[in-house]
Amino acid sequence: TTSANAADFFVDRHLAEGRADKIAHQEARTARSLSFAQLAEGAGRVAGALLRAGIRPEERIAMVMLDTLEFPQLFFGALKAGVVPIPINTLLAAPVYDAILRDSRAVALFVSAPLYEAVKPALAGNPYLKTVIVVGDEVPEAQSFGSFVAGAEVCETCPASPDQVAFWLYSSGSTGQPKGVMHVHSSLRATADTYGKHVLGLTAEDRVLSAAKLFFAYGLGNAMTFPLAAGATTILFGGRPTPGDMLTTLETEQPTVFCGVPTLYAAMVAEMDRSGAPQAPLRRCISAGEALPEDVGRRWQSLTGVDILDGVGSTEMLHIFLSNRADDLAYGTSGTPVPGYEVRLVNEAGQEAADGEIGELLVNGASAAMGYWNQREKSRQTFEGVWTRTGDKYERRADGRFIYCGRTDDMFKVSGIWVSPFEVEQALVSHPVVLEAAVVAAQDDHGLDKPKAFIVLEAEAPPDLHAQLTEHVKSRVGKWKYPRWIEVVDDLPKTATGKIQRFRLREASTS
């Protein structure tokens, strides 16, 4: 029988193709690296350790992990064993980890040591977790990754069908309730064969650096499956991608491909204006997560000599389906459909939108998710036959290029990651001095979205109100979601039925 287990193509194949000793992954700033043979063996041993620990095919394991060499070994180890890995955002707050761990019923949690304290409050009352394994420095109350895999048999890859669920990713919902997005084995190959091949055009000579982390669908393709598909080398950066560290890493690690998000590109451009551009053999730079401001793209090009190819993807479609290309680029647009994907725009009347008319973007491609875990109604609303609704509003120009026009709901992205105004508002009103709150996207100096809060006070504001609310929001819903601006108002605009009219606040913020 032939198997479509994604580990066959992304990992084991390289041994037969003569790349056993080539470096698959290396860590920036440490001396650690993993050859293709070591990745195959490490993943096989993880598979053996999972089965030895009594974790069975189709059970879920949660991964709250930094971008280190253990990530690809664990991810593919799980796939080899038929176990379903769930990479989870490392910037979340304990209540959100609690919700995800319960929703997924993960039986094991793998957590990087520096993240353990952030996840710990979610562990005590969890009825499903059988084991917690810490990667990196030892934590007394948990098992170490080293001891988890020590002495385990290196397992063969178990057969899988193309339609078998391989892994999940969590996507934030408009109420802040995360949804488990289930992806099948064949989806990984589908993104590598489309965007990976036609837009990145990776070869075995490439060295890829992604500021976007592996827990994010964008980073998972950039720093794991696309380079592995091509036999290229990935540089993993485990820390927070500050503009200074990224510029230094471009010089020290000499990548040929760099994958960023607009907020980071904007900050790196500002830094390069002060300190100059790095010497690196870059040939391709890509951006996603939110629309790239035209000016940032042009300034990056003039400083580095390389264009940024802006594109748009989604967790539901696994990677980018609309993009600019090296030989067909128009800044200020999201480009055209990636070969292998088809898109449609549907207007408010439910009809195909004409050129120049705004409509919701729907996409059809082989990497679409199987659905949301245990959320039938939301799955039915999003996955309509072969078409996946994106919730993004777009306009198609007469030249066939697409221009981003906002969301069909109130969601927005900060540094490429979703923010639900609702959940930030809930966090704000749980602070004792806040009676009511409304959150909208406002634009920073680079034209990029950041949360702005309007609050009605219940009690006198302390002098450090902004700092207190920042900390409060970060610890409740996630580190990137805090409001960058806070305006105290007497009341909030509402509909007759009491719904906050965020559009009025958006208008007030921009006028």
Residues engaged in binding ligand 3SK (CB under 6 A): 217-218, 288-289, 312-315, 319-320, 416
Q: Which is nearer to ligand 3SK, 98 or 410 (CB)?
A: 410
* Distance separating alpha carbons of residues 395 and 402, to the nearest angstrom: 6
Cα 296 to chain centroid distance, Å, stands at 21
The CA distances from residue 21 to 39, 80, 235, in Å, are 10, 21, 16
Place of tokens 């409509």: 359
**Adjacent-strand bridge partners of 84:** 60
Task: Output 293 or 416, the one with its CB closest to ligand 3SK.
Answer: 416
Q: CB under 8 Å to 339, separation ≥6 — which residues?
A: 194, 198
Residue 122 or residue 217: which is nearer to ligand 3SK going by CB? 217
In SS3 terms, 404-431 reads as EEEECCCCEEECCEEECHHHHHHHHHCC
- Least separation in angstroms between CB 200 and ligand 3SK: 12
CB 290 within 8 A of CB 448: yes
- Are 279 and 302 in contact, with CB atoms under 8 Å apart? no
Judging by DSSP bridges, how do beta strands 179-184 and 342-346 pair with one another? unpaired
Closer residue to ligand 3SK (CB): 24 or 261: 261
Task: Report the residue number, 313 or 483, with the smaller CB distance to ligand 3SK.
Answer: 313
**CB nearer ligand 3SK, residue 68 or residue 89:** 89
Residue 170 or residue 237: which is nearer to ligand 3SK going by CB?
A: 170
Structural element, H or E, at residue 189: helix 185-191
Nearer to ligand 3SK, 169 or 282 (CB): 169
Give the nearest distance from C-beta 183 to ligand 3SK in angstroms. Answer: 11
Closest separation between CB of residue 414 and ligand 3SK, Å? 12
State the nearest-atom distance from the C-beta of 407 to ligand 3SK, in Å. 12
Q: Least distance to ligand 3SK from the beta carbon of 53, Å? A: 31
DSSP string, 132-169: EEEESS--TTSEEHHHHHTT---PPPPP--TTSEEEEE
In the bound complex, what is the minimum distance in angstroms from residue 291's beta carbon to ligand 3SK? 9
Shortest spacing between CB 391 and ligand 3SK, in angstroms? 11
Residue number, nearest CB to ligand 3SK: 313
Tokens at 14, concatenated: 């390289």
What one-letter code names the amino acid at 455?
I
Pairing of strands 308-313, 23-27: unpaired
The pairing of strands 358-364 and 143-144 is unpaired
Q: Do 104 and 59 contact (CB within 8 A), yes or no?
A: no
* Least distance from ligand 3SK to the Cβ atom of residue 217, Å: 4
